[in-house]
Structure 1
Amino acid sequence: MGQPHRVGIIGVGFISGQYLTTLANQSSVRIVAIADLDRAKAEEVAAGIEGARALDVAELLADPEVETVLNLTIPGAHAEIALAALDAGKNVYGEKPLAVTLDDGRRIMERADAVGRFVGSAPDTVLGTGIQTARKAIDDGLIGRPLAAVATWVAPGHELWHPNPDFYYQPGGGPVLDMGPYYIHSLLQLLGPVTAVVGLSSRSRDERSIGSGPREGETFPVAVQSHLAGALQHASGAISTVTVSFDAVRTTAAPIEVHGETGSLSVPDPNMFEGESAIFRLGGDAWEALPPSAGYVDSGRGVGLVDFAAGHGRASGAIGLHALEIMTGLLEAAESGTRVEIASTFPTPDLVPLTAAEAWRD
């Protein structure tokens, strides 16, 4: 890996701004090329980054200066772009999920192995102080042997705020593949690999209405399940229950709770990089806040790529594939009414030491 590591971005939609904020002034990563189906948009973004060029997708993939492709396309294009980048000899770091089908996810990882390239996968929120502090508490035995976890995310639907929400309700979308990665990846960080899943799902309605923007009032079809409740059997013996929904209005539940033999742990929002963990100890009488003790401080989307450039690769494609198998397994289990075995696994990534912003940005 060169220093700085040279990155080409494909796709400069809504999420790209957060990545650019993290990466644009990062000393270990240099953005050298930008591509988008909208060439004018690519040119506009490239003009704001010193040394970056606006290219067509094919030109970016062929550019010898690009070491790693940052794949920020829509989920349905993740596999196509990742495979093309690997065939061009590039590493790939992509937005979640790794792919929208398990077959495509496996194909990406097999191709990476065949060509000797690295694949990384968001979400990298798990590398912030929120999830990493919770993981350190578990690793340090503060709640004893972990027995169970509960993860909950509910909302009434992205169409209330997103001006073009259609893709959230097509194959590759839905609450499982859209928001599920934050919760599944966090549970994998906290409790390790999963061996089997079961699930139930529903769809509240077949059509939704856009609530804001120039298309306000326009309706669009729903082709995915909009509510899922599932259970995950971890290799450690712990059992996690997961609820994700585009049908519910609000919840008072903690985003994630982990229960052990000697304590319970409240874990902050896994869609954020920070947040407070709290512990309730066996025999105690109140929740105790835990100060940040691990993770990248003041981090943002793209820190997983910085982590890779530093030689760590904690937000790995192997975890992304395992999470994808879990999520597609939950949907399969809900449809078939059967338990689905999970074949993949991953090596447990190292805990991120508490790393000040000045350190990981330099």
Structure 2
Amino acid sequence: MNIGIIGCGYVCDTYMSTWPQHPNLVIRGVTDIDPARAEIISKLYGLRRYASNEELLADPEIDIVVNLTSIESHTEVTRQILQAGKHVYSEKPLTMDFEQGKALVDLAREKGVLLSCAPCNTLSDTTQTMWRAVRDGLVGDVRMIYAEMDDNPIYLMSPEEWRSRSGAPWPYQHEYEAGCTIEHVGYHLTWLCAMFGPVETVTAFSKWTLPDKTDAPLNPKDTPDFSVACLDFKSGVTARVTCSIGAPWDHRMRIIGNQGMLSADTYRHYQCPVYLERFTKLSMNARKSYTVRNSNLLQWL
């Protein structure tokens, strides 16, 4: 599979760090609206630099294009890729507008190409292990899910100074403007919908809780930085998903059935251990103990 990359900013280095794990993927080259950034990535990873999006899209050897541009550029760049008749994998979010997203899906169908979007953690060893355990009935009938996406009070961690391997700054202003829900909830929605199907109703609350997180100008300035949603799945399962950038790091996934619970510490580590706790009278009473609550080993026993 021959790949072209459009966008050579901060996240490009993250993607490139995983390339050695996929020797079947051939990266034909990169391009960026900023030629200097494209040149840096080209030299650092030994890749061809295309002069423009148009030149990259005109290369008949490229099968799929990875869209790593800034959030506000995702829709238009993805549209250009689809119009060129190439498959797309876009960094999240696919778009910031639902109707634009539908239009891209329709265009991909018209062109006979595949349209996909990050994140892909549903394919991780951790998520696949949890899914198999659900299918095998190890926790009985699944009744509820708790999914956490608290990503630390990042405004206290000097995100203005974060740099990627190639020296690209982390686009903290774009992250704040898009908001932690749009940026992060997909990490949980992907595996939730894969396992439990479509959602019928959503009850949600969000709020702008950190008006002092930066002195930099934001547009809009009041995008919510906290949200909580309760999802009622058509399959009968209920899930609660929480997102924030103001609470300490918590990425836990917990699937709770009528006979036990599956849990993993994070979606981010694709080989994070999965724990199975079977419910018994003894285990439920033991959970009242502080020692047991703070020991995965004792909970497992």
> How far off is 1:156 after superposition?
4.7
- Counterpart CA distance in 2 for 1:202 and 1:80 is 29
Match of 2:182 in 1: 177
1:133-176 superposed Cα distances (whole Å, 9 cap, x missing partner): 11111111101111110111224543334224111122xx2110
1:31 touches 1:49 (CA, 8 Å); kept in 2? Answer: no
Q: Describe the SS at the equivalent of 1:287.
A: helix
Distance 1:165 1:7, change over 3 A: same
Of 111, 117, 132, the match for 2:113: 117
- Counterpart CA distance in 1 for 2:146 and 2:71 is 26
Distance 1:202 1:50, change over 3 A: closer
1:306-333 superposed Cα distances (whole Å, 9 cap, x missing partner): xxxxxxxxxxxxxxxxxxxxxxxxxxxx
Q: Describe the SS at the equivalent of 1:275.
A: coil
* Cα root mean square deviation, aligned: 2.1
Alignment of structure 1 residues 286-301 onto 2, 5 Å = 287-288=299-300
- Counterpart CA distance in 1 for 2:60 and 2:249 is 49
TM-score using structure 1 length: 0.70
Match of 1:231 in 2: 230
1:26-59 superposed Cα distances (whole Å, 9 cap, x missing partner): 3321111201112122122223445633331221
> How far off is 1:281 after superposition?
0.6
Match of 1:136 in 2: 132
Match of 1:193 in 2: 198
2:210 touches 2:246 (CA, 8 Å); kept in 1? Answer: no
Q: Describe the SS at the equivalent of 2:131.
A: helix
Paired residue type of 2:267:
P
> How far off is 1:268 after superposition?
3.1
Paired residue type of 1:264:
M
- Gapped runs of 5+ residues in structure 1? 210-217, 290-362
Number of residue equivalences: 273
- Counterpart CA distance in 2 for 1:274 and 1:287 is 20
Paired residue type of 2:273:
E
2:5 touches 2:67 (CA, 8 Å); kept in 1? Answer: yes
- Counterpart CA distance in 2 for 1:26 and 1:103 is 34
Q: Which has the higher contact order (CA 8 A, sep 6+)?
A: 1
1:158 touches 1:165 (CA, 8 Å); kept in 2? Answer: no
- Counterpart CA distance in 2 for 1:279 and 1:27 is 34
Of 88, 113, 118, the match for 2:84: 88
Percentage identity across paired residues of the two chains: 26
Paired residue type of 1:86:
L
Match of 2:52 in 1: 56
Q: Describe the SS at the equivalent of 2:127.
A: helix
- Counterpart CA distance in 2 for 1:250 and 1:28 is 35
> How far off is 1:106 after superposition?
0.8
Paired residue type of 2:194:
Q
Q: Aligned pair 1:165/2:172, yes or no?
A: yes
1:259-286 superposed Cα distances (whole Å, 9 cap, x missing partner): 1121111123112212111111122635
Q: Describe the SS at the equivalent of 1:208.
A: coil
Distance 1:250 1:42, change over 3 A: closer
- Counterpart CA distance in 2 for 1:185 and 1:109 is 17
Paired residue type of 1:186:
W
- Counterpart CA distance in 2 for 1:157 and 1:76 is 24
- Counterpart CA distance in 2 for 1:156 and 1:51 is 35
- Counterpart CA distance in 1 for 2:21 and 2:40 is 18
Bigger-Rg structure (1/2): 2
